Structure 1
Amino acid sequence: MQVNNINLINFRNYENLSLDFSPNINMIIGQNGQGKTNIVEAVHFLSFAKSFRTNKDKEVINFECNTSYIKSIVTNEADENKIDIKISKDSKKAINVDNVPISKISDLMGIINVVVFSPEDTKIVSDSPIYRRNFMDKEISQIRPVYYNLLLDYNKTLNNKNTLLKSQNIDMIMLDIYDEQLADIIEKIITYRDTFIKTISEIAKETHYIISSKKENLLIEYKSNLKSSIKSDILSELKDARAEDIRHTVSTKGIHKDDIILKIGDIDIRKYGSQGQKKTATISLKLSEIELIHNMKKEYPIVILDDIFSELDITRRMMLVEKLYNIQTFITTTEKIDINKDIKYFEVKDRNVLV
C-alpha cells in the first residue's frame, strides 16, 4: 500500500500544500509547532476519515476558514484510487473515491490501511480500558469494515437505552426491545474481538520474544464483560442487570466494559510492569498490527512514526527501522536521523515544506 501524493487546502496551518512521497521512508523534520505532524495526520485521514490526534474534525480546519480539503492518489495491489475529503464547519464530511461520493466511512476503510506509532501508544498498556478497546476496535475496523458499522449500531442503541434509563417513567417494553437489539449486536462484536485477540496474541508473542532478546513471553487475553458469547445468554445477562441499570441510570453490562489483559509470564504489565517492559510491549503490539494486516491483506499497511524516535534508545530505533524495511513509512522528528536507508527528506519551517 502506498500514498503517492497529497494536496492539503486550509488543513491546519497549510493553506495549500502539495507533496509527492517516496514508496519507502519519508522523514519529515521540523521543530515542534511547525506542522510536521499535520502532514501525517492528513495521511491518516485517507484511511479512517478522522484524525488520530482529536475527535473533533473542525479542529483540523484552518482557523481563518470554514472548509478544508485533503486530496490524494493512493495505491494498493489491486487498484489505484483518488480520494477526496472535504471537512466543513457547517456540514457533514464529504468523501469521494474516484469522484464517486460514499455515504459510509466503512466504505473508505480498507482502501489503504494505516498503522500509527505515537508517544500516546503507551496508554494502551498503562492506562484505562478505553485505550485498549480503542486499539482493538480501530484495528478490527481496518481489516473488517463491517465491524465499524456494528460499533456504530451498538453505540446508537446503547445511547438510546441510557437515555431511557435516565427518564422519569421507564418504558419496560422499550427496554426489552433495546436489550434484544444489543444482544444481537454484542454476539457479533464479541466474535470479532475474540478472533482478533487470539490472532494478534500469537503474532505479538513471537514478536515480543525476539525484541526482548528472547527473555520475555507476552500474553494477551480478551476480558469480556459478559460470561457468554451466545445471544440468548447475553440477553439473559442484560435482563439480570436491569435492576442495577435502573439504579445507576446507565447500562452496566455490555462490550463497552470489555478489556484486554497483557501479561509477561504471570505479571499483569499494566499493574506491575516496569517502564521498559511497557514500552517494549507497546512496540510489540504495534508491530503485530502491521503483520496482522499483512497476513489478512497480503500487503503491508502504511506506517506512521510520529515523534517516537526521541522516546527510543538507538537499539530500539534500529530494530524498528529494520522491521519496517520495504514498507512505506512516514517519520516525524525534530532532527535529521541517519538510519542508512533510502529516505526522502521533508523540512518543515514557517508553514513551508522544503524537499
Structure 2
Amino acid sequence: MFLRHLRLQDFRSWESLDIDLEPGVTVFVGANGRGKTNILEAVGYLATLSSHRVSSDQPLIRSGAESALIAATAINDGRELTVDLTVHAGRANKARLRQSPVRRTREILGVVQSVIFAPEDLALVRGDPGERRRYLDELMTARRPRLAGVRADYDKVLRQRSALLKSAGPAMRDGGRGSDGASALATLEVWDGHLAAYGSEIIAARMELVGELAPHLTGSYASIAPESQAASLGYRCSLAEDMPPEPSSDAVAGLEKAMHAALARVRTREIARGVCLVGPHRDDLELRLGEHPVKGYASHGESWSFALAMRLAAFELLRQDGTEPILILDDVFAELDRRRRSALARVAGQTEQVLVTAAVPEDVPEGLRGRQYVVTMRDRGDLGRASTIAAAPCASRSGDDDAGGSPGPDDAEVTGDGG
C-alpha cells in the first residue's frame, strides 16, 4: 500500500498542503515546531481516526478555522481509492469515499493502513493501561473495521451506565427499597445486558489478537535485544475470577456470561463508588521480560526495545493479513541507538512506502535517505507564521548538510498558517 497524493487544509500548522508521493522512502526534514510531524499525523489519523499525539480533535484544526480537511489517494495492490475526512471541533466529523459521503466516519477504516513509530511510544510500556488498550483497539479495528462500531456502542452504553450510577446511586443503596431506587435498579439491569453484550465481543477480539501478536512480539524483541530475557505478551482481563474453569466453545457467549456474573459481584461497590468496575475499559496488557513485568523492572533501553517490538509486531501482523501498511517513522532515530536504528531500517527497507521525519538529515540511517523535503516556517505578518515545504536540493538527498538551503527554481512550495 502507498499514498499517491495527500492534501491538507487547515490541519494543524498547514493552511494548505498539496503533495504527490511515491513508493519508497520520503523524508521530511526540519527543526522542531515547523510542521513536519503534522503531515505524518494526518496520514495516521486517516488510518485510525485518532491522533498519536492528542486525545481530542480540537488541536488538529488550525487556529481561526472551523474545520480541517485530510484527503488522500491510496493505491493498494493496483487498486486506487480516494478518501477524505473533515474534522470538526465539537461535532461529528464527516468522511467521503470515492467522492461519495459515508454514513459514519468509521466506514473509511481500512482504506489507509499505517503503523507509526514515534517518541510517544515509550508510553506503551511506561504509561497507564489506557495507552495499551488504545494500541490493541486501533490494531483490532484496522484488521476488522466492523469492531469500530462495537467499540462505539460499548462506549455509549458505558457513559449512560456510569451516569446512572452517579445520579441514582443513593436511591439504589440498601437494595433500592423506594420506588425511585427500584426503577433505577431496573434500568441498571438493562444497561448491564447491553454492556455485557458489547463488552464480551471486544474482550474476545482482543484476546484473539493478543494470541496472534505474542509470537511476533517475542521474535521482534529478540532481534532487537538478543542479549535480553525473552519478551512475552498477555491479556489481563477484569473478568478473570468470574471465568468458568472450562472455556466455552463460543468465546463471546462465555465472556458475556462471565461479565454478567462480574457485574452482579461488584454491584454494591459500583453503586457506592458511582463507577463501572468491570469490562474492557478496565483491562490491560501484561508485558513481561522473563518472569518480570516490564513496567518498573526494565531499563530505559529495554523499555524502548519493548515498545519498538510492539510496533514491529503490529506491522508484521498487518502484513501477514495481505496488506503492507505504510510505515511512519516520526522523529524516532534520534531516540534510538545503533542496534534499534538498524532493526527499523531492516523493516523499512522491505516496505512499499516509508514516511520519515527528522530534525537533521544525519539522524536518518544512510539506507533510508530517499526523496527529501525541507519543512520550514515563514512569517506572514498579521496572519501569523506559515508552514512551507520544498523539495530538497539534490545534494541534501544524499545527506549533505545543506538540507535547509533555499529551494531551487523548480521546487514547488506550499504554505499554511502556523498554529
Aligned to 1:222: 235
Query: Which has the higher mean CA deviation after the structures are superposed, 11-20 or 150-159?
Result: 11-20
Are 1:318 and 1:339, in contact at CA under 8 Å, matched by a contact in 2?
no
Q: Which residue does 2:145 correspond to in 1? A: 145
What amino acid is aligned across from residue 5 of structure 1 in structure 2? H
Deviation readout 1:185-220 (Å, 9 max, x if unpaired):
122111101111111001111111122126431111
Greater CA deviation, 341-350 or 118-127? Answer: 341-350
Q: Offset of 1:62 from its aligned partner?
A: 1.6
Give the drift of 1:323: 1.3
> In structure 1, what is the equivalent of residue 123 of structure 2?
123
Quote the Cα distance in structure 2 between the aligned partners of 1:89 and 1:52: 18
Matched, 1:309 2:333: yes
Q: 1:79 to 1:10 in 2, by over 3 A?
A: same
Q: For 2:258 and 2:54, how far apart are their aligned partners in 1?
A: 37
TM-score scaled by structure 2?
Answer: 0.81
User: Taking structure 1 as reference, are residues 160 and 91 closer, same or farther at Cα in structure 2, changes over 3 Å only?
Assistant: closer
1:202 corresponds to 2:215? yes
**Higher deviation after alignment, 190-199 or 226-235:** 226-235
Question: Residue 353 of structure 1 aligns with which residue?
Answer: 389
Counterpart secondary structure, 2:366 = coil
Could you tell me which residue of structure 1 aligns to residue 344 of structure 2? 320
**Residues 208, 216 of structure 1: 8 Å contact kept:** no
Once residues 174 and 90 of structure 1 are traced to their aligned partners in structure 2, the CA distance between those partners, rounded to angstroms, is: 29
1:183 aligns with 2:196: yes
Q: How does 1:104-119 map to 2 (within 5 A)?
A: 104-119=104-119
What is the total number of aligned residue pairs between the two structures? 354
Distance in 2 separating the partners of 1:326 and 1:219: 25
- 8 A contact 2:345–2:365 mirrored in 1: no
Q: Classify the secondary structure of the residue corresponding to 2:65.
A: coil
1: distance between equivalents of 2:365 and 2:158? 50
- Answering whether residue 324 of structure 2 is matched by residue 300 of structure 1, we say yes
Matched position secondary structure for 1:3: strand
Q: Structure 2 matches for 1:54-69, cutoff 5 A?
A: 54-69=54-69
Counterpart residue type for residue 126 of structure 1: R
Partners of 1:116 and 1:305 within 8 A in 2:
yes
Task: Return closer, same or farther for 1:90/1:316 CA change in 2, 3 Å cut-off.
Answer: closer
Instruction: Report the 3-state secondary structure (helix = DSSP H, G, I; strand = E; otherwise coil) of the residue aligned with 2:4.
Output: strand
Task: Mark the CA change 1:257 to 1:112 in structure 2 (over 3 Å): closer, same or farther.
Answer: same
Per-residue CA distance 1:302-344 (angstroms, 9 max, x = gap)? 1111111110112221221111223211111100035224611
Q: Distance in 2 between matches of 1:119 and 1:342?
A: 20
For the pair shown, which has the larger CA radius of gyration, 1 or 2? 2
- Structure 2 residue runs without a partner (length 5+): 173-183, 244-253, 378-386, 392-419
RMSD between superposed Cα atoms in Å: 1.6
Residues 48, 105 of structure 1: 8 Å contact kept: no
Which one-letter code corresponds to 1:280 in the other structure? Answer: S
Could you tell me which of 286, 290, 304 is aligned with 2:311? 286
Q: Distance in 2 between matches of 1:234 and 1:10?
A: 44
1:1-355 map, 5 Å: 1-77=1-77, 79-89=79-89, 91-168=91-168, 169-170=171-172, 171-213=184-226, 215-227=228-240, 228=243, 229-296=254-321, 298-327=322-351, 328-336=353-361, 337-341=364-368, 343-350=370-377, 351-355=387-391
Supply the AA of the counterpart residue of 1:352.
Answer: T
After superposition, the C-alpha distances for 1:220-249 in whole angstroms (9 at most, x for unaligned) are 111100022432232121112110000101
Q: Which structure 1 segments of 5+ residues have no match?
A: none
| Letter in structure 1 aligned against 2:192 | D
Percent identity between the two aligned chains:
26
Between the aligned partners of 2:112 and 2:187, the Cα distance in structure 1 is: 40
Length-normalised TM-score, structure 1: 0.95
State whether residues 44 and 51 of structure 2, in contact with CA within 8 Å, keep that contact through their aligned partners in structure 1: yes
Q: Which moved more, 1:213-222 or 1:20-29?
A: 213-222
Q: Which range is displaced more, 224-233 or 152-161?
A: 224-233
